[in-house]
Structure 1
Amino acid sequence: MSILGITGGVATGKSAVTQFLAELGAPTISADAVARDVLRPGAAATQSVLAAFPDCRDMQSEVAAVDRALLRARIYDDPEARKMLESFTHPAIIQELREQIARWRDEKVLIAAAEIPLLFETGLEDLTDTIVVTSCSDETQVARLRARLGIDEGEARQHLAAQWPLSEKVARADVVIDTNGTLDDTRRQVAALWERFTAF
């Protein structure tokens, strides 16, 4: 069996690769999806976040909930605020990832994928057997971010500058998926990866 850790920079195609693996039959988990659940209305982490960032409360919600857009803007260029947020959310996210991967190992699944954007930054390399990094050019990342977030080039490049250099992640990868091309190009690479781990 093999647990694949899917990681890479922002807008490099991590979710697409994870989706393609799921279509091939791999069970998957996404740290971002877990994070959304950790900050669901009424959750313990939600209460802590709202206490620390009361200006990020969702005023349209009838229950205590986080306005994620306001929260993203609040921590965008404030490293200390980001660290505080992570102290509330990361323990619960990491616990869920560890528990799910442990279940997969107990079940002896052939291949599974955990999409963890901050895999290296949070020192979670030990969770996985093979680290798969999605990679594309800076220009492609910038274009995707501008389209996704409706921001200008300067803001998009600020997003990239706030992250680990993609080249450093690529250097630590066991497998690199080049996502500069079409989705079909990416799908073919994922299919080859699948064959590598499922062929007998």
Structure 2
Amino acid sequence: MSDSHRKAISLGITGGIACGKSEVGRILGEMGFAVCDADRVAHDLMEKGKPVFQQIIHHFGDDVLTEDGRISRSDLGKMVFEEPSRLQLLNMLVHPAVRQELEKWMAVQKKENRPSAVLLPLLFESGMDDLNWDVVVCVSSAEPSVFQRLEKRGLSPEEAEQRVLSQMPLAEKESRADVVINNLGTLGELELAVRETVKAIMLER
């Protein structure tokens, strides 16, 4: 996709939990985009010894640590998704550091004139909709499919519902995004939708 290399656009990819953002990221990567997963950035920042790690232990205690002294994301997840105020606190500790890393990463892609995409589930909730995006894309899916995927990830129906309810309603994300990609069919259909969306974005620029 030579066109994408000529126009170094920056896409913010958001959407509901288990709607297919990672698949969209994979497809964009195959199309020549540099792709950054904000969740992975957050996980790196929570590694043992890093400032965010220290802050989390300070606020949440040693209960969230594994035997080898790392943060257990599943234990931390259970703790914060049961209590909205804890989730809010965790986000306040993690989001500013994630934002800083994303800004640096995006600046490098722009300098190298590479089209880029950041997978950012909480793009609106975290206030990162004001980053330097050319286009914000919302990946959407049907609720039964979402719950099916979360079940496959090992979450109980109650846990799945907690995760879905902890995010901004999908309809609101769709209305605030510039473009919506509906992931309602096969992977092949999703790939076609992503390619068509990028083509349309490029034509407008």
Return closer, same or farther for 1:33/1:20 CA change in 2, 3 Å cut-off. Answer: same
- CA shift at 1:150, angstroms? 3.8
Query: Secondary structure of 2:153's partner?
Result: helix
1:162 to 146, 166, 185: 166
2:83 to 78, 81, 84: 78
1:184 to 173, 188, 194: 188
Equivalenced residue count is: 195
- CA shift at 1:131, angstroms? 0.7
Kept in 2: contact 1:131–1:174 (CA 8 A): yes
Kept in 1: contact 2:122–2:167 (CA 8 A): no
Structure 2, unmatched stretches of 5+, are 1-7
Kept in 1: contact 2:124–2:173 (CA 8 A): yes
In 2, the alpha carbon distance for the partners of 1:135 and 1:125 equals: 17
Residue of structure 2 in register with 1:195 after alignment? 199
1:174 to 174, 178, 202: 178
In 2, the alpha carbon distance for the partners of 1:104 and 1:155 equals: 37
- CA shift at 1:194, angstroms? 3.0
- 1:1-200 to 2 correspondences below 5 Å: 1-53=8-60, 54-59=62-67, 61=68, 64-109=69-114, 111-127=115-131, 128-152=133-157, 154-198=158-202
Kept in 1: contact 2:81–2:162 (CA 8 A): no
Kept in 1: contact 2:13–2:136 (CA 8 A): yes
Kept in 2: contact 1:7–1:119 (CA 8 A): yes
TM-score by length of 1: 0.91
Amino acid paired to 2:163: H
- CA shift at 1:182, angstroms? 0.8
In 2, the alpha carbon distance for the partners of 1:27 and 1:58 equals: 33
Q: Residue by residue, what CA displacement relative to the aligned partner does 1:101-140 show, whole Å, maximum 9, x if unpaired?
A: 112222222x210111111111212221101100011111
What is the CA RMSD across the aligned residues, in angstroms? 1.6
In 1, the alpha carbon distance for the partners of 2:201 and 2:140 equals: 21
Residue of structure 1 in register with 2:4 after alignment? none
166-175 or 44-53, which deviates more: 44-53
Kept in 2: contact 1:2–1:197 (CA 8 A): no
Structure 1, unmatched stretches of 5+, are none
In 2, the alpha carbon distance for the partners of 1:47 and 1:173 equals: 34
Q: Residue by residue, what CA displacement relative to the aligned partner does 1:20-74 show, whole Å, maximum 9, x if unpaired?
A: 0001110011110101100111111111211222211111x1xx32111110011
- CA shift at 1:77, angstroms? 1.7
- CA shift at 1:198, angstroms? 4.8
In 1, the alpha carbon distance for the partners of 2:66 and 2:176 equals: 39
TM-score by length of 2: 0.89
In 2, the alpha carbon distance for the partners of 1:104 and 1:137 equals: 33
